Amino acid sequence: MASPSFLIIGAQKCGTTSLYQYLIKHPTISQAKRKEIHYFDVYYDKGTEWYEQQFSPLPKGHITGEATPRYLFHSKCPQRVYQYNPNMKLILLLRDPIDRAFSNYQMDIRNKSEKLKKKHSSSFLSFEETLNTKKGNNYLLKGLYYSQLKQWLRYFPLHQFHIIESNDFYQKTSEMMNLTFHFLGVKQTDSISYKVYHQGSYAPLNPSVRKKLSYYFKPYNEKLYQLIKRRFDWS
């Protein structure tokens, strides 16, 4: 039984599984009994004792945390996390929302949870079709990081967030991990090997659909950049 000092709160389909697996390779970071505990969104009524039972007792000098990427999107999580620990360190992976939405769609296809005709199995829904389906609209909403993060910033200052852009994470993994270790207050290391977890492969997104989605996301991305005082090279 232990109290976590950090959370990976999102975003879904942005690399959170790989990030968590890399973190728990560190000699002073202990893993939770499972990566996604879903306490602050699904199992909140079980109470803090149940939550802390999801973590093994910590050796001296160790820290622990969990990764439930749905926390970013869930409107009640910011206040609940704040009430649990106002000093919680929050880690956030953000991916180009177009690529995030397409990856989410492809995951649903692979899991057979997307009720689409076979002719759609290797291509993306059109922008209009996406907005006109509940599932498709959810793909887009999860990429509106500005509105989600703004809810969290009502309770936590920006310096309590460590924000990683997903392309940077995969292209400069060792550098990004050492920055994350520094944020968590543990010793930086270059002795960890990094492999990619849950990386899917699928046909590329139709350029015309990407262009339409780019117009859709652009104003929200601009608001995000102003909010976090950083810019990303997103389409």
Each residue's pLDDT tens digit, 96-125: 999 999 888 878 777 654 454 444 545 555
pLDDT higher than 50, residue 50: yes
171 CB-near residues (< 8 Å, 6+ apart): none
pLDDT computed for residue 204 by the predictor: 83
Convert the pLDDT of each residue in 13-33 to its tens digit.
999 999 999 999 999 999 999
Q: Let me know if residue 124 belongs to a domain.
A: yes
What is the residue-averaged pLDDT of the chain? 90
Q: Let me know if residue 1 belongs to a domain.
A: no
Q: Let me know if residue 115 belongs to a domain.
A: yes
Residue 19, both tokens? 């990030």
The span from the CA of 96 to the CA of 157, in Å, is: 24
Q: First vs last Cα of the chain: how many Å apart?
A: 44
The predicted model gives 80-96 an average pLDDT of 99
Q: Let me know if residue 185 belongs to a domain.
A: yes
DSSP class of 159: G
Q: Let me know if residue 233 belongs to a domain.
A: no
Q: Let me know if residue 235 belongs to a domain.
A: no
Q: If 0-12 CB within 10 Å is exposed, 13-18 middle and 19+ buried, where does residue 172 land? A: middle
Could you tell me the maximum CA-CA distance found in the chain, to the nearest angstrom?
Answer: 56
Query: Do 148 and 72 touch, CB atoms closer than 8 A?
Result: yes
Cross-strand pairs, 92: 10, 163
In one-letter notation, the amino acid at residue 138 is: N
Q: Let me know if residue 162 belongs to a domain.
A: yes
The predicted model gives 81-101 an average pLDDT of 98
Give the number of domains in the chain: 1
| Torsion angle (degrees, nearest 10) of CA 170, 89, 51, 33 | 30
pLDDT computed for residue 125 by the predictor: 53
pTM for this predicted structure: 0.90
In one-letter notation, the amino acid at residue 18 is: S
Residue 108, both tokens? 């649903």
Percent of the chain at pLDDT exceeding 70:
89
User: Which range marks the domain in which residue 155 is found?
Assistant: 6-228
* Residue 56, domain CATH: 3.40.50.300
